[in-house]
A and B are shown apart, each in its own frame.
Chain A
């Protein structure tokens, strides 16, 4: 049996208030975020507005400002905040012993 979680790297490899991308071969990218408070989130790396790469935005609190047109997306729910409407899929993510694990199924679905 294959494990349910994929180890994508160490928490320390993602800058505080920053993000790194995890491309899925043949599919979309996942953006792995680390907030100033040290919490780790993963979203599909695509803004609900016009597909901006969210991993390149400014992370503040538990949200990210999209680099293209500054929509603010909740890292927890993937929902656009404020006046804007739209939602980016979230990817289940866990931190164990300093490693970031993302949900295997959710990741592989993006490759389809």
Chain B
């Protein structure tokens, strides 16, 4: 090396992926331009940090993940100062000082200090046994902890956390992943893919707790477990914190270099000081900080160009992510959160566990999420980066490159036409194209008819599109459209969806959407409330109600009014009230300035004009007087109207008020397909209008006539007589069986009247009157589910235990008055 003296001295702080890559790029362009010194805080050569995951999992050794071995530094005349962190930069003197006291002068300084793992500041965070996942020392610490087996908790369900969890499981630990958000890897995945991932991890034996907020790491001298804010405790001898990273900017900030979230650099990676550059995770370029290597490689190229030949300028990167967990294929790229003019193309194949979603905006791919089959990830990412016009292959895009690029095959109909007769159409039921075509030839003229005759598309529905194309090919315009689907998100009708939820034991909305191939990422305002109800009905006590899938009234437990205020109707059992209740209602009306209080058509009092913010206080006051929610807002039991009955009325035959109160006390709180009204009249004069109710009782001398399917609403329908019984107990028993049959069979938003018209009174009688065992089972299922339903939603809210933020604004903006003379 002859020009030693004249060469500029380039000092690099950080012997990591960016620092070394930058040096490699510079050497490749001009090996003689700079004399290079690299400081590294870690006591070792540069290795491939992303391979720490396979290292932890035992799939790689350290030697296999070294990028630049000692020979590389020597061969290129690079001085490596390892195990010695730089502690200060003196910009005026152009020197750096290391922990050891070593001082080195520079002409150019490159800061490549990467990021620091973020440690959540909870009690116990510094206990031995709490580690982060960033460098080799962390992996060593985890491997030591894993030697004894035992329990590990990983805090953070992002890429790093899941890779740590995977590695620790393979090393024999029992792993629980705690994730604060509702979806795993929420920054890379949408809800549907996150759900699939969670299910797959659980199948592999990991416990995944979502919405888990850590309160404390417990332990005396060493980690013993983690306590969550909701009180749950999880034992652990190892806690890995993988909740995020922060750009490591302390050195630059102390030296007075401009720092925002990261060290601010221009397109040539130069900081606010022209002699200092920054690259990698510590750098902030055009407002972006990156945490992946692909953008770092691009930065390093631009940096080397500027330092040696001609500046090329870095313009920012679009990124893609892959999870490095063997057997779990997860890919995401670009912006898949939707947005203006964005269109989602979704393909779900439940039998193969595949979910693909490509987001297209103005005929360009702008984002993609792939789960289960990531083979086309690179292709979508390439289309995205090149901004290619995908209009010509739009219809076949989601099927992947092989299909979409096949020239004439880009038309799905043509692709189906080209299939051989033996080609399998329906994987679930093993139906070939030839069989579908012959069943169409034999007269099946609709999707439904095909499903009924040869079973194609009758199970998971993923081949629905293929079957529809075959129908169109074979019949042209003669295809009959099938029964109405739930909404445009799905090709299934309500009954199919309900049947499959039970048959396949589905347990959450994302699961239903995946298994039944929903065409939208998170449904719409028609299907979400319906699915929420169907799951609630199918899994009493187990299903966690999704509040965001409920209409406003059910979410707020009050009826919204045209001016955005709410009306409040407390329950009045059987229409009976007391002076205390009336007084409490009167007090509420005055205290909260309610503009109106009215006697309703359902024999109760309705308080109008309550502000959203005041609802919890109003409920607390009403609760204090012993009243609970009247569910005047709910697809649930509304009122049980009663008349005076035998206790007072000169015609009364039975205690109609007493029975009404019993019914209301037994049935309140149950969620139903639609609202449900009852009434009990004490004699056939029927003052309580029992014969236009969903379930009406008309008392007679010899017992109780039970009437069903009445409706006083838009289309008045008089009830049908179901049966006559002798005792109150029987009346209540039949009511339970009837309500449960309705809950299990009716479509969402179908009241009993249209339901009975559809299925026929005979069907209802067959199940409830003729079949005693069936009746008993229905009633038993109803009472079982009731034990989970009768929590007063008002009490929970009023106590501030549940979602009370719903009633508070996020923030309030109070513009300051402009003061005279004062500068704004």
**Interface range for A:** 35 or more
For residue A64, which residue of chain B has the nearest CB?
A: B525
A39 to B335, CA, bound (A): 10
B interface footprint on A44-84 (CB within 8 Å = 1, 0 otherwise): 00000011110011111110010110101010110000000
* Residue with the greatest number of chain A CB neighbours at <10 A, chosen from B182, B186, B521, B564: B564
Query: Within the complex, what minimum Cβ distance (angstroms) separates B665 from chain A?
Result: 31
Asked if B805 and A56 make an inter-chain contact with CB atoms under 8 angstroms apart, the answer reads no
Q: Is A88 an interface residue (CB 8 A)?
A: no
Q: Is B405 an interface residue (CB 8 A)?
A: no
Asked if A58 and B810 make an inter-chain contact with CB atoms under 8 angstroms apart, the answer reads no
Asked if B824 and A22 make an inter-chain contact with CB atoms under 8 angstroms apart, the answer reads no
A29 to B813, CA, bound (A): 9
Within 8 A of B (CB), among A1-56: 1-2, 6, 8-9, 12-18, 20-26, 29-30, 32, 35-39, 50-53, 56
Kindly list chain A residues whose C-beta atoms are within 8 Å of the C-beta of B555.
56
Within 8 A of A (CB), among B334-350: 336-342, 344
Kindly list chain B residues whose C-beta atoms are within 8 Å of the C-beta of A51.
564
Asked if B813 and A24 make an inter-chain contact with CB atoms under 8 angstroms apart, the answer reads yes
For residue B342, which residue of chain A has the nearest CB?
A: A62
A interface footprint on B755-789 (CB within 8 Å = 1, 0 otherwise): 00000000000000000000000000000000000
Q: Which of B182, B548, B810 contacts A9 (CB 8 A)?
A: B810
For residue A52, which residue of chain B has the nearest CB?
A: B564
A106 to B820, CA, bound (A): 23
Secondary structure class of chain B's binding surface, majority of residues: loop
A77 to B523, CA, bound (A): 20
A16 to B183, CA, bound (A): 10
Q: Which of B181, B564, B810, B824 contacts A13 (CB 8 A)?
A: B810
A44 to B566, CA, bound (A): 20
Q: Is B214 an interface residue (CB 8 A)?
A: no
A interface footprint on B172-195 (CB within 8 Å = 1, 0 otherwise): 000000001111001100110000
Q: Is B551 an interface residue (CB 8 A)?
A: yes
Asked if A56 and B552 make an inter-chain contact with CB atoms under 8 angstroms apart, the answer reads yes
Asked if B525 and A65 make an inter-chain contact with CB atoms under 8 angstroms apart, the answer reads yes
A14 to B191, CA, bound (A): 16
Q: Is B809 an interface residue (CB 8 A)?
A: yes
Q: Given A38-B187, A72-B525, decide whether A17 and B812 contact each other with a Cβ distance below 8 A.
A: no
Q: Which of B529, B548, B809, B815 contacts A59 (CB 8 A)?
A: B548
Asked if B815 and A24 make an inter-chain contact with CB atoms under 8 angstroms apart, the answer reads yes
Residues of B within 8 A of A (CB): 180-183, 186-187, 190-191, 261, 336-342, 344, 520-525, 528-529, 547-553, 555-556, 560, 562, 564, 805, 809-815, 824
Residues of A within 8 A of B (CB): 1-2, 6, 8-9, 12-18, 20-26, 29-30, 32, 35-39, 50-53, 56-62, 65, 67-68, 70, 72, 74, 76-77, 97, 100, 107-108, 111
Q: 8 A-B residue contacts at CB 8 Å? A: A6-B813, A16-B183, A25-B812, A37-B521, A57-B525, A61-B344, A61-B520, A61-B524
Contacts A8-B813, A24-B812, A24-B813 supplied; 7 other A-B pairs, CB < 8 Å: A22-B809, A22-B810, A24-B815, A58-B525, A68-B560, A70-B525, A100-B810
